[in-house]
Amino acid sequence: MLKVTVMPLGPLDTNCYVVHSDREAVVIDPGGEAQEILSFLASEKLNLTAILNTHLHFDHIQGNADLVAATGLTVMASAKDGFLLENELGGGGMMGFPRTPPFSYSPLEEGELPLLGTTCRVLATPGHSPGSLSFYFQELGAVFVGDLLFYRSVGRTDFPGSSERELIRSVRSAIFTLPEETVVYPGHGPETTVGQEKLNNPFFTEFIR
Positions of the chain with pLDDT under 50? 208-209
Alpha carbon distance 15, 142 (integer Å)? 15
Which H or E run includes 3?
strand 3-9
Q: Would you state the pLDDT for residue 209?
A: 41
Q: Would you state the pLDDT for residue 206?
A: 64
Taking only the tens place, the pLDDT of each residue in 74-105 is 999 999 999 999 999 999 988 788 999 999 99
Alpha carbon distance 48, 50 (integer Å)? 6
The whole domain housing 153 covers: 3-207
Q: Would you state the pLDDT for residue 208?
A: 46
Torsion angles phi and psi, residue 61, rounded to 5: -130, 5
Q: Would you state the pLDDT for residue 12?
A: 95
Name the domain count of the chain: 1
Alpha carbon distance 2, 11 (integer Å)? 28
Q: What is the pTM of this model?
A: 0.96
Helix axes 64-71, 34-43, angle to 10 degrees: 40
CATH number at residue 93: 3.60.15.10
